[in-house]
Chains A and B, each alone.
Chain A
Amino acid sequence: MLEAIVQGVLLGGYYAVIAAGLSLMLGVVRFINLAHGDLAVLGAYLALAAIAFLGLPVWWAFALVLPVMAGIGWGLQRFLFARTLEGGFLLPLLATFGLGAVLQNGMQGIFGSETRSLANYMGNLSWAGWQLPFGLYVGVLPVLTFAAAVIVLGGLQVMLSFTKIGRAMRATSTDPEAAELQGVDARRVQRVATAIAFMLAGLAGMFLAMRAQVTPYAGPAQLIFAFQAVIIGGIGSLWGTLIGGIALGVAQSLGASISAQWFQLAGHFLFFVVLAIRMSSAGPTRERVLVWFDRIADALRLRTRGERKHAD
């Protein structure tokens, strides 16, 4: 039980990274990238390819994948997503769903269907761990992933709060037209946001391939998990994705201790419960709870100013 909870919390770090990219695009570019999970898997395969074909050391391969993913994101936003966004909410969904099919089957065509993992290149990191009191065993890799997630989210927070492009992103996410009137180039901001989101997807994909096996068709499940973390944590909140990721990870981890099918089912149920609470008519209890969430978030400065949604 305790073991499962600890593993679930650490798994939440991975979900936070993949969810943060999805959430960033949802907030700034205003659509759900249905290929986000496939992009994560693409990041993993790019790293594998850089190691196998370019002969790069593992960490150099990782360092190479991130700018490549950012470039892909920039280009796709510039030449595809921006164009489809003009046609309403339907077309971006359809285009990214099509992109997912291209990525999955393209990777299948190039790399074949066998499962692959980065663990083979990581030396003893993939199995090393610490023996803790109460019979707990914690792997080094999950802890590193979690730490990386916190650092990445912290970096994003700093960027959104203190840099010019970060302020422009927050402005664009609140109201693109008003931001443009204030001299923000919303299209450029959206390209930067997409580039960052793709980098986060690639990073998450490499984390995934370090701790598990990936196949070309692993993406859709990752998209679902990322989206669940976003919803559970609350849309538009950066640290919410970490909380959502942890909640999802714990639910799945507890579920997995029942049976393999319950790994996914437990997460799905948590997702629907949170959705039901969010959708249920705004009764006084719900409002009070949400106001308290906001107060706690404010007290801990978890949210940037102006994102407060529920009046006291």
Chain B
Amino acid sequence: MLTDIGQRRERLAIPGEAYAAFAILALLIAVPLFAGNAAVDKLTTLFVYLLLAVMWNLLAGYAGIVSVGQQAFFGLGGYFAVRLVEAGLPPYWAFFVGALGVAIVAIPISAAILRLKGGELAIALWVLAEVLRLAVMFDPLVQGETGISLLAMNSFDPTFRRNLNYWLGLAAVSGMLVAAYFLLRSKIGLSAKAIRDDEEAAKSIGIDAMRVKQVFFVIAAFGCAIAGMIWLANTITYQPRTNFGIQWTVFMLFMVLVGGLGTFAGPIVGAVVFFLLQEIFGNYGAWYLAGLGLIAILFASMLPGGIMGYVQSKTGFVPFSDGMTQNNRKRP
């Protein structure tokens, strides 16, 4: 079994679907040159969703961490950026440094909180997000519920700013996807899958489960912080209740569950589906959100593998296979 994986890992040739990905990337890079402002804005939002979905899939699909508190890092990233800009850093530098700061903060958090498991971990992370939100609201700069506008962003030309946000979002999504691809093929990625399938068995062959989970947790925190930065760069306003909102986690869960938990392409498919639903039904407000919940329930009970899980089991085609396909896992 182990040698089997080893042989699979050696075949690190560029898969066919990668060429399609490059073509899509080239097309997306060029979009601001011919598309209207509204389209660029909407695609930037899609990039935020994509980032969140990919990060949540890394956590739940590979490291077995169900987080309903990922908004903690989304919101904290925005707060760090606001504070750094206030301290005099140029906005886009503040975004990058702030996201790194979130990743650093996530290290001690992961060491403490990942001792919990399952539902306990899920709720503890949620409480953490609430504590961070309440703490941020104490900052006089944020003024409690009121929030703050990132006025420094107004020094940029609106079109330039919009396009820059778009390209940064695209760069972040592509970068994190490539990072996730290699992470999952690395020793740590394989260890994570072993832990997800059977934690006790994985520990018995010498895998440091805690360390592996920490790596995934910190990367996901960084990715969510980046997503929070792009959101902030686009909306310019920072409000604790919005940026630390539980709805971000609802969206992440929906995208990953619908697209396919634990598949590489799943969160991408899920994010696109979610984005389209948002565009078509977003105006229905509460009923639209209730519908999202209902779809999530249906997928959890009827099609737990999501769209990609279904496609992969029917066709045997696994885009960006990580060396261990769905079929492989089901083998007794």
The total of chain A residues at the interface (CB under 8 A) is 43
CB distance from B69 to the nearest CB of A (A): 11
Give every chain A residue within 8 A of B108 (Cβ-Cβ): none
Q: Which residues on B are within 8 Å of A, measured CB to CB?
A: 60, 64, 66, 68, 112, 115-116, 118-120, 122-124, 126-127, 130-131, 134-135, 137-138, 246, 250, 253-254, 257, 261, 285-290, 292-297, 300-301, 304
10 A–B contact pairs at CB < 8 A?
A34-B123, A91-B301, A94-B257, A95-B300, A98-B300, A103-B293, A105-B290, A223-B123, A224-B130, A275-B116
Q: Which residues on A are within 8 Å of B, measured CB to CB?
A: 26, 31-32, 34, 80, 83-84, 87, 89-91, 93-95, 97-106, 108-109, 216, 220, 223-224, 227-228, 231, 261, 264-265, 268-269, 271-272, 275-276, 279
Q: Establish whether residues B131 and A268, one from each chain, have CB atoms under 8 Å apart when the complex forms.
A: yes
Given known A97-B250, A265-B134, A268-B130, contact A31–B119 (CB-CB < 8 A): yes
**Which 10 residue pairs are nearest across A and B when measured between Cβ atoms?**
A101-B293, A32-B119, A98-B296, A105-B290, A102-B293, A95-B300, A108-B286, A105-B289, A105-B286, A98-B297
Given known A94-B253, A268-B130, contact A101–B290 (CB-CB < 8 A): yes
Q: Establish whether residues A93 and B118, one from each chain, have CB atoms under 8 Å apart when the complex forms.
A: yes
Given known A93-B66, A95-B296, A95-B297, contact A106–B123 (CB-CB < 8 A): no
Given contacts A80-B297, A264-B130, 17 further A-B contacts (CB under 8 A): A31-B118, A32-B118, A34-B68, A84-B304, A89-B119, A94-B300, A95-B297, A95-B300, A98-B292, A98-B294, A102-B294, A105-B288, A108-B286, A220-B126, A224-B130, A272-B127, A279-B116
Cβ-neighbour of B296 out of A32, A101, A220, A269 (below 8 A): A101
Nearest-CB residue, chain A, relative to B300: A95
Q: Establish whether residues A94 and B127, one from each chain, have CB atoms under 8 Å apart when the complex forms.
A: no
Q: Establish whether residues A261 and B293, one from each chain, have CB atoms under 8 Å apart when the complex forms.
A: no
Q: Establish whether residues A94 and B138, one from each chain, have CB atoms under 8 Å apart when the complex forms.
A: no
Give every chain B residue within 8 A of A32 (Cβ-Cβ): 118-120, 122-123
Given known A89-B118, A91-B304, A94-B66, contact A271–B296 (CB-CB < 8 A): no
Give every chain B residue within 8 A of A104 (Cβ-Cβ): 289-290
Give every chain B residue within 8 A of A102 (Cβ-Cβ): 290, 293-294, 297
Given known A34-B68, A90-B66, A94-B66, contact A224–B127 (CB-CB < 8 A): yes
Complex CA–CA separation, A158 to B289 (angstroms): 42
Give every chain A residue within 8 A of B66 (Cβ-Cβ): 89-90, 93-94
Contacts between chains A and B (CB distance < 8 A), count: 123
Give every chain A residue within 8 A of B290 (Cβ-Cβ): 101-102, 104-106, 108-109
Give every chain B residue within 8 A of A279 (Cβ-Cβ): 112, 115-116
Task: Tell which of B287, B288, B293 has the most Cβ of chain A within 10 Å.
Answer: B293
CB distance from A39 to the nearest CB of B (A): 14
CB distance from A295 to the nearest CB of B (A): 26
CB distance from A104 to the nearest CB of B (A): 8
Nearest-CB residue, chain B, relative to A267: B127
Give every chain A residue within 8 A of B138 (Cβ-Cβ): 261
Q: Establish whether residues A93 and B122, one from each chain, have CB atoms under 8 Å apart when the complex forms.
A: yes
Complex CA–CA separation, A95 to B301 (angstroms): 7
Give every chain B residue within 8 A of A108 (Cβ-Cβ): 286, 290
Nearest-CB residue, chain A, relative to B60: A90
Cβ-neighbour of B122 out of A34, A231, A264 (below 8 A): A34
CB distance from A197 to the nearest CB of B (A): 14
Cβ-neighbour of A220 out of B124, B246, B293 (below 8 A): B246
Give every chain A residue within 8 A of B116 (Cβ-Cβ): 275, 279
CB distance from B219 to the nearest CB of A (A): 19
Complex CA–CA separation, A80 to B304 (angstroms): 12
Complex CA–CA separation, A58 to B115 (angstroms): 46
Q: Establish whether residues A98 and B119, one from each chain, have CB atoms under 8 Å apart when the complex forms.
A: no
Give every chain B residue within 8 A of A34 (Cβ-Cβ): 68, 119, 122-123
Cβ-neighbour of B293 out of A87, A91, A105 (below 8 A): A105
Nearest-CB residue, chain A, relative to B288: A105
Complex CA–CA separation, A32 to B131 (angstroms): 21
